[in-house]
Structure 1
Amino acid sequence: MRIAPDGTQSVLGRTSELNGRPWIPNGLALSARAGLLIANMGEDGGIWSLAPEGTVEPFLVSVNNTALPATNFVLSDSRGRLWISVSTRQWPISKAFYPENASDGFIIRVTEDGRADIVADHLIFANELRLDAEERWLYVAETFAGRISRFEVQPDATLGERQTFAELPEHSYPDGLCFDAVGHLWVASIVSNRILRVAPDATSEIVVEEFDRDYVENFRIKWERRALERADVVNPASRILKNPTSLAFGTDDQTVYVGSLGGDSLVTFPSSVAGLPMQAVEALRLYLPA
């Protein structure tokens, strides 16, 4: 869906199944090489390209001759490389909500010439990825570890060892990430229904939240009993945030836009700072009205 500045909406694609299985579009990125790329969180997984006329084609569905499972997120950098997160190799993905099963998430790098490799492994439910302004560090939300990890991007586009950048406050389950213009990392947390801002020194503050203690406690009890279901994550107790999963800054003001698992609209609120400008991608013009 494309939402114009005046709020009108236009559909770019209507695919609901691939190979007879549900197609669940999740993360997306604009690539100068391949246009609009979409991560499929459905069982078939992979990264798919959406053409301007609405057709969906496979872009990356296997790595090292192994089919990709449910794929979470795709990020394009200034050099045309892609960074992709896979939360877990298991299906359904809810199996990876628990510590004994959780450390099988990984990150894929696709180079400018199209070579794909796994460059980080054994992550605890790897979720959204972001690069800092200099593209020196790649940050990843490890949702069920309650932490943000980062990797130093080497000159050859390999990644250094995992570093824990920030352990988040209790009941924080990081999902979506984005940077502001002064180097702070913003984090959307499901379950606790909160947005956090993490400073370069890893200290964090809660910017906004709709914390429901009964809901969070029920989630914890079910988690300890290994009885969580998808509905426990999707259906929130909050009125507005509804389990926020993604956030981004507007390009012309200091507005934050928030998407959520349990909502059917975008939530917005003003920020005291602007966001880190996104890389201008020529491919965007293909998807704009004539």
Structure 2
Amino acid sequence: MAREINIVINNLSFGEAPRWRADGLYFSDVHADRVMVLRGDGGLEAVMSASGPVSGLGWLPDGRMLVVSMLDKRVLRLEPDGATAVHADLSELATGPANDMIVGPTGVAYVGNFGFSLFPPEPPKLAVLAAVAPDGHVTVAAEDLFFPNGMVITPDGRTLIVGESGGQCLTAFDIADNGGLSNRTEWAALGDGALPDGICLDAEGAIWVASPPTNEVLRIRQGGEVLERIATDQQAIACVLGGVDRKTLYVFTAESTEPAFCREHHTARLLAINVDVPGAGWP
């Protein structure tokens, strides 16, 4: 079934880490060094300006926003008065730019990193997934991940699934009461040249995957069966299920992933697609 695709915004530098919260879509405009929110009434405003590229977003249980600062490998915290504080320093663990993040119901944040530099290019190497406690204490949650990227947490708070972009697969972990991860299993392998960037979970337990090299978002069942494909004109970078009923699939796309191009041209887009099954869990 062909679905209608609506272009909501068409002049972003590079949209990432979409999160639906209350009545708005929060996201990072990575190479414009800012966090934005698109309100339900269509209003678009800046939430935070940073001194460099930003990526993953989430919230502590008390409502304070966490933001990944990529190049200095830090998690920033936005205070109620608008001030920005360093919540955690990942520089001793992250071997590449810090990237996507998910914050679960207990306030533990899981943060991935590239593992190596893409610009300028370095030989690929595996990366760790960091766990950041609500007080900012950093530990290694998992090791030997090939470019850990988008993540989801199931509605019961007991399972984390991460897209390994370099491994072209989705990998699941059990979440312990203390936030630790264990029992690593392959949730699904992607074929046909697809790889996972941003991902989101729906109420039937399927995962929507944004796949940049194949210009599409895919709805995948555990085990790897593809339930639906939606083609995009640009590279599909990230996705989330939002809206009042969580049945709007928001998809960020980009003409290029090269930082200098994105900073200069601002051709990345936000798409909105109505789907049948609502979102579930986190984000």
Shared fold per TM-score greater than 0.5: yes
TM-score (norm 2): 0.75
**Structure that is richer in strand per residue:** 2
Q: Does 1:159 align with 2:185?
A: no
CA deviation after TM superposition for structure 1 residue 76, in Å: 1.2
Identity of aligned residues (%): 22
Letter in 2 for 1:2: V
- The equivalent residue for 1:9 is 44
- The equivalent residue for 1:85 is 112
Structure index of larger Rg: 1
* CA distance in structure 2 between the partners assigned to 1:33 and 1:68 by the alignment: 31
Deviations 1:50-75 (A, max 9, x none): 34554432211136x56775211221
Q: Does 1:47 align with 2:40?
A: no
How many aligned residue pairs are there?
236
* CA distance in structure 2 between the partners assigned to 1:78 and 1:199 by the alignment: 24
**Structure that is richer in helix per residue:** 1
Letter in 1 for 2:156: E
CA pair 200-110 structure 1, distance change in 2 beyond 3 A: same
Greater RCO (CA < 8 Å, at least 6 residues apart): 2
TM-score (norm 1): 0.73
* CA distance in structure 2 between the partners assigned to 1:68 and 1:103 by the alignment: 9
Deviations 1:223-254 (A, max 9, x none): xxxxxxxxxxxxxxx3xxx2122111124131
- The equivalent residue for 2:240 is 248
* CA distance in structure 2 between the partners assigned to 1:92 and 1:158 by the alignment: 29
CA deviation after TM superposition for structure 1 residue 208, in Å: 0.2
Letter in 1 for 2:106: R
Q: Does 1:271 align with 2:275?
A: yes
Letter in 2 for 1:56: T
* CA distance in structure 2 between the partners assigned to 1:40 and 1:154 by the alignment: 27
For residues 14-29 of structure 1, the aligned pairs below 5 Å read 14-15=49-50, 17=51, 23-29=52-58
The 8 Å contact of residues 185 and 199 in structure 1, kept in 2 or not, is answered as yes
CA pair 48-276 structure 1, distance change in 2 beyond 3 A: same
* CA distance in structure 1 between the partners assigned to 2:119 and 2:228 by the alignment: 28
- The equivalent residue for 2:252 is 259
Partner-residue secondary structure (3-state), 1:11: strand
Unaligned runs of 5+ in 2: 1-35, 256-266
Unaligned runs of 5+ in 1: 18-22, 211-237, 280-290
Deviations 1:109-154 (A, max 9, x none): 1234443201111111110111112222211111122111111223
The 8 Å contact of residues 139 and 151 in structure 1, kept in 2 or not, is answered as yes
